[in-house]
Amino acid sequence: MQQDLFAAPIFSPLHFEQLAWRQGYRAIAGIDEAGRGPLAGPVVAAAVILPEGLVLDGLDDSKKLTAKQREQLYPRIREKALATGIGVASPAEIDRLNILGATLLAMTRALGRLSIPADYLLVDGITPVPVALPQRTMKKGDSRSHSVAAASILAKVVRDRIMVAFDRIYPGYGFAGHKGYGCAAHLEAIERLSPCPLHRVSFGGVREHVKAS
């Protein structure tokens, strides 16, 4: 039986990138998102193409890092990467398309903003990006691929910065702290203040408080 190389034990953070490089691909983009679960704010995706063989110390799944560690890694990734792209899908697009459709839209936009066109994709999750490029989807890809981990950090940092900025526009909800996630304080604020334009009205925890027009 033929062995699946992608199922082989992983000893390197560049395991999946190395397999693609051996097949002749040179612009391998790791893709990840931040913000699928919150009740408010956009979903943000990032695409990152790293130079062949580059390993950045401290790089890991963004969820395993502190905010300070992510902020420290952010400029290093931007400096060392061959290309980076950010894509955003708004709360209105999330409500219209559903969160999966909006996530894929943000990922497509991130790819479109790369200064070097990608020729192969490593995608966090199980759903391919709807573009005509060879790609591999991976559960927990941000823990298994250096490129995807880099993308996860960029997406998380950009989204957090967006939510801090929106906190000044829509005060009272606490966006700078919880970043739109459904913690008790946020749910209480939605009930007390009603949803603002940043909220995803199709999500439970928000739609119950949308006033009929």
> What is residue 122's predicted lDDT score, i.e. its pLDDT?
98
Q: pLDDT-derived band of residue 8, with 50, 70 and 90 as boundaries?
A: very low
Mean pLDDT of 174-188: 97
- Decide if 156 contacts 34 (C-beta within 8 A): yes
pLDDT above 90 for 6:
no
How far is residue 30's CA from residue 38's CA, in Å, rounded to a whole number? 23
- Ordered by where they begin, the domains of the chain are 5-169 (3.30.420.10)
Total-model pTM:
0.92
End-to-end CA distance of the chain: 62
How far is residue 13's CA from residue 103's CA, in Å, rounded to a whole number? 25
> What is residue 12's predicted lDDT score, i.e. its pLDDT?
83
- Decide if 91 contacts 198 (C-beta within 8 A): yes
Q: CA 112, 117, 122, 128 torsion: positive or negative?
A: positive
